[in-house]
Each structure stands twice: as structure tokens, then as C-alpha cells.
Structure 1
Amino acid sequence: MTSDTTAQAQDEAVQLTSELIRIDTTNTGEPDTTVGERAAAEFVAGKLRAVGYETTLIESGAPGRSNVFARLSGADPDRGALLIHGHLDVVPADPTEWSVHPFSGAIQDGYIWGRGAVDMKDMVGMMLAVARRFKRDQVTPPRDLVFAFVADEEAGGALGAQWLVQNRPELFDGVTEAIGEVGGFSMTLADDLRAYMIEIAEKGIAWMRLRVRGRAGHGSMLHDDNAVTKLAAAVTRLGTHQFPLVVTDSVRTFLNALSELTGVEVDEDDLAGSVAKLGPFARIVGATLRDTANPTMLNAGYKANVIPSVAEAVVDCRVLPGREAAFERELDEILGPDVEREWITHLPSVETTFDGELVEAMSAAVVAEDPGGRTIPYVLSGGTDSKAFHTLGIRCFGFSPLKLPPDLDFPALFHGVDERVPVEAVRFGTRVLDRFLRNC
């Protein structure tokens, strides 16, 4: 039977998620146009202080880039603390493309709508609701819990988690393990069987700028040294290149777990075909079988009739654990000697194993709320603040639990138009998170 305080926490999580979405925390990647993190941090800190927490609100390297920390003491102070982290910023959204305004936080048709609904104000709402419940009900967890609400994740964390780790490491004193995005959501395998995918590894992030130089000239004349032409050719070579299939230890663990659950053997001679059977989740899993390099930005010229001397492109590279040196060699071969390249952001891959008491506690919490659920490990093709926390020796997992409708294309909602999260998924996740943190 659901207690009154459990129901209250679930209701709060839904309402808090909606209210957080209404605070526009758009991170453009440019400090002058990034907004709202201070307002969101003050909102979170106020909610925590209202139930008795002492909070630390700190700016991470620039005005307005605000973060909130709160610690709840556990029964065994000698055990390593657990970090529960979520980011307050979101990527931009164009309201003209949406069915509802992206910062409305509308609750309708069984969903909470808006930018950040799945990335990741739903988890922030659940964290906040559970933290408040524990304080109100005077719950003492097995060990110290550190709740962290941070800035700038969507731009790599240089003015968020990375800055905090480098400049305020004492905030993480005693922390040995962490949970955050992106994992714990369900993938329906059969009517009575769901796999809850817990992230144990993520690819490295390498945002790269390419630069090609040529000879400036008049746009009306014959020209054999055009920087734009040379860059376009290089970007096309890179953007259409397919890097080799690589099955890392973490990916193999995922594939073995999936085979055990479904009884279907994964054909390593046709990995792409096997992964394609996962439906919408094939996009996430497929991207963990090889490195990727996707051109995302182009910049050249200043007038229609002037051939510029320099052309630039930005490429989003994601690199599998252990593939860094081979990836760079392959880049050199594809791009050739005329293309200069520099790293804008270069964050390493992160990897741990799927074992231990924390994993057992996650699995037990999921199964208690969904008897048809089973937890399996997976590799994230993107990147999270775990990259920063990992440098402190913290063992990081992606665990933001959601029980999803089988027909929902959940991966498409990350950074997508009409981003939304099911109300019942947030209620479920709140129950799982509550149960897990009582037994972690």
C-alpha cells in the first residue's frame, strides 16, 4: 500500500518537474546568451531549505553559473558517500516548432511537456522530491547522500561540474559512487518483460574545429585554391566515413545480458542487424559499436563575391573507450595534411563494471516496483557530468529510473521537438529512487 508521504513525494516530483521546466535555463554554449541557471539554483535551494537542509549555492567560474549542494547524513559515516547529481541547464528550443511552448511545463495528455522534461529536469524533480521527503520524515539513509544540482552540462561542464571538481573538490569529500543521467529507463522486450538500462560507460567527447586555408580572390574568376571547396571535400569525406565496428567489454556485457533475457543469440557477424531489432533504442546502442564524427557547424566567407582565405567547420566526435589513439590516426588519414584541426572540448571516456552492492540495490529497487523489470548494463553514446566526477575516483552510473510506454520513442525526445515525459513514469521513478536511496 502506498503511504501518504510516498504519494506526496510522487505528486511533488511531477509538480517540481513542471515548475523547473518553466524556468528557462537555456545553455547556448555562449556565456552572454546562457540564461536561468541562477534562478533554477535558487528555486532548488529554497525547496531544500524549506524542509531543513543546509545548502551550498556556488557559482562555477562565471556570474550566474550556479550550483546547489546539500548533504544528508547517513547511519554509517565510515562508508563512502553516494553522489546524486542532476544538471539544471537545457539545450535551446524553437517555440515555433513545438505543439506546446517549450518552457510551459504543461501537464496534459498524461505527459509533462517542455525542454528538459527528459534531459534532465524530470530527474532533478525526483531528486528534489525524495530529498524533501527524507528530511520531512526524518529518514536516515545507510550512508551519506550528497545531492548536487549543477550548471553547464549541456556545454561540456567547463563552467559546471568540471570547474567544481577542479576548484571545489571538498564538496565531494568521502564520495565513492554516483548516480545521474542517462539510464534506468525501461525498454520493453515482451508484455511482461522490461529491461532497465543502467549506464556503466560512456564514449569520450571530442569537439573538433577544422580549418582550411586557401588564396583569397574575386568570386568571378577561375580559382584553384578555394578554402571553402577544400573544406567541403574534407567534411564530406569525414561525415560519410564509417569507423570500424568495435565490441568493447561494456558493450559485450550489454549484449550478453540482452541475450540472456530474450533467449536470442546476438550474431557478432551481423551486429548491426542484431541491434536493429531493438527498435528506437537501436540508435543509442548502435552508436556504441563504433566511433562517430558528425560535422555540425560550418563558417566561411563574408561576401558573396569574395573567395575567403579561411574556412572552418566544427565536428562532434564520440570515441569508444580504448580507441583514442586509433581514432586520431584515422582522422589524419581521412582529412589529409591540408586540414588543420584543434580540440575545442576533449573529455575522456568513462567505464566501470556492472557489479557490487550499489548495482544490487538498483536492481532490487526496480524489481520491487516492477516485477517484470530486469536491470542490464549499457554504454551511452553521449556524455554526462560523470566525466568530471570520474576524475575524483568516483564510480559513476547512469540511473534515472523511468518505466516507459512500449510505443514511446524515448531516445528521440532527448534534445528533440515536443520533449516530454510520462507523468506515471516520473511517479514510478520517484518510488524507485526513494526505495533505492533507503537501501544504497
Structure 2
Amino acid sequence: MRPSTKFLTAFALAAALPAAARAQTPAPLRPDQTAFRALYQELVETDTSATTGSCTALADKIEARLRQAGYGDGQITRFADPNYPKEGGIVAVLPGTSKTLKPLLLLGHLDVVVAKREDWTRDPYKLVEENGYFYGRGTADMKAMDAIWIDAMTRFKAQGYRPKRAIKLALTCGEEGGSPFNGAEWLTKNRPDLVAAEFALNEGGGGRTDGKGKVVTASMHVGEKAVAQFRVETTNPGGHSSVPVRDNAIYELADALTRIRDLDFPLQMSPTTQAFFARAGAARGDDLGKAMVALSKDPTDKAAEAIVNTDRSYHSMLRTTCVATTLTGGHADNALPQRASANINCRVFPGETVESVRAALAAAINDPKVTVTTRPMRGPLAQPPPLDPKVIGPAEKLVAKYYPGAPLVPTMSTGATDGIFLEAIGIPSYGPPGTFSDPDGNGTHGLNERLAVRALYTGRELLTELVKIYADAD
């Protein structure tokens, strides 16, 4: 018989404690932690991918939980586009006592990247707890934070907590793509009153371990790269496959993609990334950390850059990156291809233009037979929020409390979040610390996505406390 989940979780939590603490008998989960785990499981086990799932179905379950906690009709708003009935979202409001302070917004997306069972070791839409980790699609991106936000809102209501500033929760669909509908964009364009706030807390922050369970840095997401998509395409008259020629659309595309693979954009630094490499590097104390510090002082230090580039996430943080993500080619098994194309997904460093990236791709390909065209943008260009001490300061104090010795560093996200839509209407968006990941990225958007058990429960405590500090601040 398998041990109960709560005792497995308690053991995993205890394993992360100092040796003196581990010597004691691990305590079972508290009732509130057990309820929180059930909420997290419900979120992970509700398929919300664009192909086989439904955000609306999960929003229904979330609404039921909010109403059970005491939220009424005037405090819950459901929204959806009739053309995309499975991509609905929900907004809930806990009223504040102040008539002058602007609300605090908690933002999260419910949708996940599609996962195929045949590719995964475990069922991607079942929460599996194993060896100190939770496995399942969305365990890290971003149903852990969704669960924390929902848990906080329901507990606040049930406890009769009355914050100074109203706390808003907006859970949307469409952040991961797969559909033209994006809930965060829809809210900012159609119901900006629902999300109006002093600032928002969103995904993108967190922390990073040394790969052995020790949290070495915590991060506050302050700004992000822009997402740009390009179509690389080549055409040809084609012909019968029994008479092959070197002038082949698929071969020409393959040559172009090889050149894109070998294209490395030049290093760039912003105030946020410079501060990140200086502080995160100093916290490491190894050769990589020393190189990070050296590079923050002198971005032209090629020896330091070479060492930092060995870490793929740091390499991406230093420059614009482009990668082929999908491709199509040919029209029949017995015909020479008349057309071949690929999508190139680029993450553009702040300050660089989309057109300059397109030009760099064309220059690297250096073939007049290959066209490079810009596809429609996902949304507006990101507008980095300020490093506001009122936002950063409380987070630093809580990181020191929950992750002693790990510095809080401002981080530019190499991914993309829905914060860009909020920033476009004047709402700064920050990704707070709380949970953390390993250097390999924890399978996010890939196979066997996972989140450390300790990251979930500690993140819940930290983020709930942080929300209350912000909500009660003048």
C-alpha cells in the first residue's frame, strides 16, 4: 500500500530543513495545507490546453470555490468571447476599506501547453507526487501560482479579512497561444475597469536552485523580452520526384535554418540584467558566479561571456534569441516541393526593434530565394515597470525570512507574460518571488513538467504574506 499523500509531502518538506530539524518526526500536513493541495490537484487535473481542454470548465470550478467562501454576484465576473466558448475566464474582487487607494491585482492564466500522454513518463493530466516533486502539466506554469492566488482569496474572505486596498483576482485563458483569443488582452480592451490597479502580481518571478535543492537566488520579474514571429519561406516550380534537382525548396529551407541555428545575436545589458548578474553571480561563489559578476562589470569580457553562455537561460538573458519552432513543406509524396516554410520564434531584447531582428535573420540566411516576413505580433511591446522600492522592499524581507541567504535579484524574463497587456494601459506588472525551479527548467513547456513540493508550500506562505503586506500598505 502506498503511503498517504500527506505523509509523503510532509517527508519531502522535512527533507529540505536543516539536519537538526530533520531529526524530528515529520509532521503531517495541516488541514489548510491538505485543502490547498486538493485545490492544486483540481487545477492540474483539469485539462486546459487549447486542443483538448477547457479554461471555462476550470473557471466554473473556481467560481464554485469562491462562492463557497462567501463571494457574491457583485464580486464575481465571468467573461468569454462567444466565438471561443472554452476560453472563458473569471474576475473576483475582495473589497478594500480605503476609498482612495488603488486595488492590487493578482493575475494568472489557466491555460497550459498541450501535453501528449504517449510522450510523457506519467499521465500529464494527473497530479503525481514523487521523490519530492509534483509532476503534471501546469504544475509549474502556472497552476501553482493560480492555486496560491485562489487559496489566498478564499481564505481572506472566509476569515473576514478586510484589506485597505481592494484585492482583485483575474484568471484568464490564451496566454500560451493556440487561439486568437487572449483573456488578458480582452479585459484590457473591453473591461479595463475590472483589472484597474496600482500594480499587478503575475508570473515570471520565483527562484533558482543549485540543482541539489538549495535555493541560491530569488527573483523579481521586472520587464521581459518581446515576442516576434517570422516566416522563413522558399518556393520552387517543383516537378516529378523521379527527376530530382538540387534546386529543391525543402533543401533550401534546410540550409536557411542551419544558418539561423548558427546565428548568435550580440550581447546586450540593461539595468535590470546588469543588476541580476552582479547579485546572482555573487551569491553563487563558483566559477560561473565569478564570470557573471565579471560580465556585469565589463560586458566586453569575452572569457566571462563564454562561461556564462554555457548556461542556456543566462545565454538567453544576454541577447535576442531566435529558434525554429514549426515547419511545413511539399504537397505530395511523389512530387518535388513547390513550397517550404518554417516559423522562427524570436525573443527580442528590450530596445531592439522587430525590423532589425528580421534584417539580421535575412542577412544570416543570405539567400535571395528565401524570404523572411514578420508575422502578426502577439501584443504590444513590453514596457518594463520601475524598480519601485515599495514593491521590491517587502519582497526582499520575505525572501530573507523564507529563503535565508538567497538574495532577491531583479530579473528580465526571457519568456513572455500577459503583463504586456496590463502595462499598455498603465498597470505595472511584477513577477514576485515565492516558488523556485531547478537549472534545467523543470520541464516547463516540455516533457514531465514538475515543481518541487517544498516550492509549492513555501511559495504559498511567502506569497500570501506578501499580498497582505501590499494590500495594507498606503
TM-score if structure 2 supplies the norm length? 0.82
Distance (Å, rounded) in 2 between the aligned partners of 1:225 and 1:355: 57
Distance (Å, rounded) in 2 between the aligned partners of 1:356 and 1:276: 31
SS in 2 for 1:154: coil
Q: Could you tell me which of 128, 141, 147 is aligned with 2:163? A: 141
Displacement of 1:122? 0.8
Matches within 5 A, 1:200-215: 200-215=222-237
Paired residues in the alignment total 422
**Residues 292 and 357 of structure 1: CA distance in aligned 2, closer, same or farther (over 3 Å):** same
**Residues 194 and 162 of structure 1: CA distance in aligned 2, closer, same or farther (over 3 Å):** same
**Residues 410 and 401 of structure 1: CA distance in aligned 2, closer, same or farther (over 3 Å):** farther
SS in 1 for 2:194: helix
Displacement of 1:308? 2.5
**Counterpart in the other structure of 1:21:** 44
Report Cα offsets for 1:330-372 as digits up to 9, x if no partner.
1232244433323144442342333320111222222233333
Is 2:188 the partner of 1:165? yes
**Counterpart in the other structure of 1:3:** none
Displacement of 1:193? 7.0
**Counterpart in the other structure of 1:342:** 374
Q: Which has the higher contact order (CA 8 A, sep 6+)?
A: 1
Report Cα offsets for 1:55-80 as digits up to 9, x if no partner.
11111452211111011122333222
**Counterpart in the other structure of 2:424:** 391
Report Cα offsets for 1:87-124 as digits up to 9, x if no partner.
11111112233332111112343332210000111111
**Counterpart in the other structure of 2:35:** 12
SS in 1 for 2:269: coil
**Residues 254 and 81 of structure 1: CA distance in aligned 2, closer, same or farther (over 3 Å):** same
Distance (Å, rounded) in 1 between the aligned partners of 2:241 and 2:214: 65
**Residues 232 and 80 of structure 1: CA distance in aligned 2, closer, same or farther (over 3 Å):** same
**Counterpart in the other structure of 1:266:** 294
* Contact 1:202–1:349 (Cα < 8 Å) also in 2: yes
Displacement of 1:20? 0.8
TM-score if structure 1 supplies the norm length? 0.88
Distance (Å, rounded) in 2 between the aligned partners of 1:333 and 1:393: 37
Is 2:264 the partner of 1:242? yes
SS in 2 for 1:18: helix
Q: CA RMSD in A?
A: 2.5
Is 2:454 the partner of 1:424? yes
Q: Given residue 315 of structure 1, which amino acid in structure 2 is its aligned partner?
A: I
Displacement of 1:328? 2.8
Q: What are structure 2's unaligned runs of at least 5 residues? A: 1-28
* Contact 1:182–1:380 (Cα < 8 Å) also in 2: yes
Matches within 5 A, 1:8-407: 8-27=31-50, 33-53=51-71, 54-60=75-81, 62-155=84-177, 158-160=180-182, 161-173=184-196, 175-188=197-210, 194-223=216-245, 225-261=247-283, 264=290, 265-267=293-295, 268=299, 269=301, 270-275=303-308, 282-324=311-353, 325-335=355-365, 336-340=367-371, 341-347=373-379, 348-399=381-432, 401-402=434-435
Runs ≥4 residues deviating over 6 A: 189-193
Distance (Å, rounded) in 1 between the aligned partners of 2:436 and 2:235: 51
Q: Given residue 69 of structure 1, which amino acid in structure 2 is its aligned partner?
A: V
Report Cα offsets for 1:199-250 as digits up to 9, x if no partner.
1121111122222221121112253643222222222211221111112222
SS in 2 for 1:155: coil
Distance (Å, rounded) in 2 between the aligned partners of 1:238 and 1:124: 37
Q: Given residue 429 of structure 1, which amino acid in structure 2 is its aligned partner?
A: G
**Residues 316 and 143 of structure 1: CA distance in aligned 2, closer, same or farther (over 3 Å):** same
* Contact 1:202–1:380 (Cα < 8 Å) also in 2: yes
Report Cα offsets for 1:258-295 as digits up to 9, x if no partner.
35545743233134345368xxxx32222011111111
Report Cα offsets for 1:368-396 as digits up to 9, x if no partner.
33333321111111111112211111111
SS in 2 for 1:41: helix
* Contact 1:203–1:382 (Cα < 8 Å) also in 2: yes
Q: Which stretch shifts more, 224-233 or 178-187? A: 224-233
**Residues 210 and 344 of structure 1: CA distance in aligned 2, closer, same or farther (over 3 Å):** farther
Q: Given residue 259 of structure 2, which amino acid in structure 1 is its aligned partner?
A: R
Distance (Å, rounded) in 2 between the aligned partners of 1:410 and 1:15: 27
Q: Which stretch shifts more, 371-380 or 127-136? A: 371-380
Report Cα offsets for 1:150-203 as digits up to 9, x if no partner.
101111884122222222222223x13111112122435999873201111211
Higher strand share: 1
Q: What are structure 1's unaligned runs of at least 5 residues? A: 1-5, 28-32
